[in-house]
Amino acid sequence: MSEEDKKIIYENEGSQYEVSKFTDEGKTFFRYLIETNQEIVTMKKRIDILQAASITLNSRIKEQLVDDMLLQAEEVAESS
């Protein structure tokens, strides 16, 4: 399939539009939309990684906890 045969399609509310027929400004907006969506995917992956790291770090902290670290009820009330 040649480059000319490849059509980039924009879908909106059930209709399909050929991007090559967009105005220059429309093509720029389309490129920005593609970049924005790619960044969203990247950020979602980053959030997944950070959430996994947070769970791991919390687990490692829990391994360190011992009873003599516990605050008594009155100490908790004083710090509030």
For 24-68, the pLDDT digits (tens) are 999 999 999 999 999 999 999 999 999 999 999 999 999 999 999
Total structural domains within the chain: 1
**Euclidean distance between CA atoms 48 and 43, whole angstroms:** 9
25 belongs to a structural domain: yes
Q: What token pair was written down for 39?
A: 């960044």
Judged against a pLDDT cut of 70, whether residue 78 lies above it is answered with yes
**Which domain range does residue 66 map to?**
9-79
73 belongs to a structural domain: yes
37 belongs to a structural domain: yes
Judged against a pLDDT cut of 70, whether residue 3 lies above it is answered with no
22 belongs to a structural domain: yes
How many residues are given for the chain? 80
Residue holding tokens 């907006």? 29
Residues with Cβ within 8 Å of 22's Cβ and at least 6 positions away in sequence, in order, are 10, 30
Which pLDDT belongs to residue 37? 98
2 belongs to a structural domain: no
**What is the tens place of the pLDDT at every residue in 4-18?**
568 999 999 999 999
